[in-house]
Amino acid sequence: MAFFNTNEVAGGAQQALNDSAASYTLGLYPETDAFDDKPHAIKLHVKRTGFQVRYPKVYFAAKELNAAGQTGV
């Protein structure tokens, strides 16, 4: 766990708890030919207002196998 822009651990921990109160997990499954050893942008659009959405803005499509024996992210 990392807290940025603060020296107050309790406040950072409380923010982490608040952030985890409601969350969703989205999966990304690129096409097989998309593994080209290049970074690719991710854009996420949410119709409802008043939400703070945090997600990685880019993923790297690695060609080689990872430790689990799978290609990609």
SS3 25: coil
* Domain residue extents for the chain: 25-73
- Tokens describing residue 35: 């593994």
Q: Considering only 2-11, 24-33, 52-61, 64-73, which range has the smallest mean pLDDT?
A: 64-73
Q: How many C-beta neighbours within 10 Å does residue 10 have?
A: 9
Q: 29-67, pLDDT tens digit by residue?
A: 777 777 888 898 999 888 989 888 888 899 888 877 655
Q: How many C-beta neighbours within 10 Å does residue 49 have?
A: 5
Nearest residue to 2 (alpha-carbon basis) of 15, 30, 51, 65: 15
